[in-house]
Chains A and B, each alone.
Chain A
């Protein structure tokens, strides 16, 4: 019998699809990055962890350094805008434990994490650790961070905001 062994080049594509990001600012300098959030699970039982992913993409032509690291399970360096279905801003959890430190131990990266032009970084953030999702219903979540360093005259305009996602907190037993 005759046998052959042939070698072929593999040609698979690993598709990466980024959702469009929102950039709301009037800063004369164009933003260098975009933010996209996604929900790990869009429907979660009441009391369960709510985890989002944040993808930050460098859309500039130079490398950027983005603050990265955790305190507890919450990714630091981002501002979270969370509202319930009445549009009421979800408050941060007040530490009711008379002993537990207000801030969890951290694992920061001094100097931040570098992202090359066109590159991205994806991080997890367990926002239910800091925010009070205390009743069933739909919640909208958006994150933002300042577009540039420093303290601009109108910091509210110096932001890069993400898309808005909706998470449904299910009643117990549903």
Chain B
């Protein structure tokens, strides 16, 4: 009899009792020690369903994130299921190496276990994307405004205080924001979070003689951090409204921006020590430009012409996405935070790459 470490497997071919667990819950399966003097020469676990050995980042360090595979060769199994499923099989077998014995008889029978894995359900985030990039001028910055970077090339429309010069507790207001991601209701069994990866971001400035560009490296959007803090009570969404000032030490004749990102919705069970699991993702982008008809003496920016502004298809369910079958199994992974550099030599080269 064993209460705290129940035997959950069968070895006689009968159906094992099904265990109920939750996605992201730590699963540790152990096996009893072999008789004294005997060591396993080989240990073989098989685990059905999409499973992983771990997911970093941790809250203490999120400049990288990766997924590790489940180690199937240890005497104990440490794993997490990523997606929901029914009667997911797990098997265990070990072999010993006894000289002179029949090799075929040196491996144990197979122990079978079965798991039902539940999760947050099939609901997905909803996405509201503005379909235009605008010339935005925030008029409500006084009385604390000391420097004015207006106007902006702005995805969506933003009004209200500039939070850089009025760093308070609320700041700018999107009306409407560029893009808004809303979680699928409230989960009583866990918490939803978001994380965004920037895949492309280039803002190019040009006049008749010169050009330069801010170019971002692909990576995690550090503006949101990881994990994005749990949403406030009553707050159920995150938003993004990339912008770029049109003001500089000289007047520009044309400013363009290409931006692409993927927002992931994640879910973490309330069960202690659970890891987050992916729920879905949404790709989005915009490509736009505006021309200064007042160049070179003044600024009179035209309504931006956008090749595109909005979402790239519908929200993709991580559980049904074929890409989730292989590493990183639907997880957002990154090797660095997205960072921005100014370049005068690559500005035109990047343009050529985009046109190809």
Contact = CB atoms under 8 A, between A and B. Distances in A.
B162 to A, nearest CB: 9
Q: Please tell me the size bucket of the interface on B.
A: 35 or more
B139 interface: no
B277 to A, nearest CB: 16
B225 A121 contact: yes
B172 A122 contact: no
A7 B8 contact: yes
Given A7-B27, A100-B212, A64 B169 contact: yes
B94 A114 contact: no
Contact of B231 (A14, A100, A114, A124): A114
A3 B94 contact: yes
Given A3-B93, A109-B224, A66 B169 contact: yes
B299 interface: no
Given A4-B9, A110-B158, A110-B172, A10 B201 contact: no
A11 interface: yes
Contacts of A101: 205, 244-245, 247-249
Contacts of B113: 5
B108 A1 contact: yes
Contact of A95 (B26, B156, B249): B249
A138 interface: no
A112 B31 CA distance: 50
A2 interface: yes
B317 to A, nearest CB: 25
Contact of A3 (B5, B11, B248): B11
Interface centre among B31, B170, B201 (most CB of A within 10 A): B170
Interface stretch (B278-286, B307-315, B336-344): B336-344
B305 interface: no
A99 B149 contact: no
A12 interface: yes
B109 A3 contact: yes
Interface in A66-120: 66-73, 75-79, 95, 97-116, 119-120
A149 B2 CA distance: 60
B65 interface: no
A174 interface: no
B6 interface: yes
Contacts of A66: 169
Contacts of B201: 105
Contact of B339 (A64, A73, A97, A115): A73
B214 A110 contact: no
B30 A8 contact: yes
Nearest to B209: A99
User: Which 5 pairs, one residue from A and one from B, show the smallest C-beta to C-beta distance?
Assistant: A110-B174, A63-B232, A114-B232, A67-B163, A10-B26
